[in-house]
Amino acid sequence: MAYYEHTFIGKQDLSNKEVENLITKYSELINKTGKILKTEKWGLLNLATKINKNKKGIFVHFKFESEEEDSIKLVEKKLSIDNDIIRYLTVKYNKLDLKKEYFQIEKSE
């Protein structure tokens, strides 16, 4: 069993409903051959450089496990032709840290 972290960046002008539709679409695609362990919606963040005339992007991060390498290729193929996606990245791990949240909001007490 291989573990993966997958992040994609949606266009800055997407509505919340469109973002949720993207999350559902790619979650279902990943769940066909694997199992999503965690989904994080990081929200609208600034990009270091402009990408296709976009200064900001909506970041979504998945942590999942899968046995088939072909499923990753299928997801990346679908992402590459999706007009609402600016960039994506998939990284393979031997073990995942499910407790760490990269963009956790600090709670004041």
Measured between alpha carbons, how far is 48 from 17 in angstroms, rounded to an integer? 26
Q: What is the pLDDT along the chain (109 residues), one digit of tens a residue?
A: 788 889 999 999 999 999 999 999 999 988 888 888 888 898 899 999 998 889 999 999 998 888 877 788 888 899 999 899 999 999 888 776 666 666 665 444 4
Tokens of 20: 């949720």
| For the chain, domain boundaries | 2-93
On whether the CB atoms of residues 37 and 98 are closer than 8 A, the answer is: yes
Residues, the chain:
109
Domain 2-93 in CATH 3.30.70.60? The answer is: yes
| Whole-structure pTM value | 0.82
